[in-house]
Every structure is written in structure tokens, then in C-alpha cells.
Amino acid sequence: MSSFKPKLGDGSIILPQARVKMIMKSSPDTESISTDALYFVTKATEFFVEHLVQEIYESTGKSNELTYKGLADIVQKSDSMHFLKDMVPRKITYKEYQEILKEKENSDLF
């Protein structure tokens, strides 16, 4: 596990808490959210973006280009990013896609 040392600053958050709250409330199980919990989720999301970006940057050998491929590779590789697997799939070529289709057709025959 790589260490994570975010800049602390004055603990202020830049993501809008109202929006985060709205996303949280869109989950059917959510009843109410304490102020501390909302702060933690908002701040954690900021940390998450920072951490994710740093992981991509390190994994690509500090390349000057941060690309979708770099992101998809990290998501497929890292355990803690597992929850994003369906959302950030690796890109495949059309040829690879055709092969997958063919395989599927074959297995559907049985």
C-alpha cells in the first residue's frame, strides 16, 4: 500500500456539500446524514480523486500525459478500485470485440 499524504491546509473542502448530499440521498437506504458524516464523505471524495490521480501518474512512470488508458489500467489492477471495474472498462479493438462475439455465439449454441 502506498502512503497517502494529502495537503491538510485549513481542512476546507472545495466540492459542494449540497451536491454530495444530493447524491447520497439518491440512495434509497439513506435516511439522514450527520454533519460530520457529510464532511467526511465530501473530503474523502477529494482524497479519492487525489489518490487516484497520483496512482495513475506513478504507474505510468510519471508520464506527462494522463490518459484514459492509464486510469483503466489502475482500476483493473488495484483492489481498492475494484468497485469502478464496470464503469471504467479497458478499451478493446474492434477485432478483439469480434472475437469475443464469436466466442459468445459458440458458447450459446450449447
Binding site for another protein (CB under 8 A): 1, 3-6, 8-16, 19-20, 22-27, 29-34, 36-37, 39-41, 43-54, 56-57, 63-68, 70-71, 75, 79-80, 83-84, 87-88
What is the C-alpha to C-alpha distance for residues 8 and 50, in angstroms, rounded to an integer? 13
Instruction: Name the residue type at position 36.
Output: D
Nearest approach, Cβ of 106 to another protein (angstroms)? 32
Q: What does each C-alpha distance from 23 to 20, 28, 41, 59, 93 come to in angstroms?
A: 5, 11, 11, 30, 34
Please say which residue, 6 or 101, places its beta carbon nearer to another protein: 6
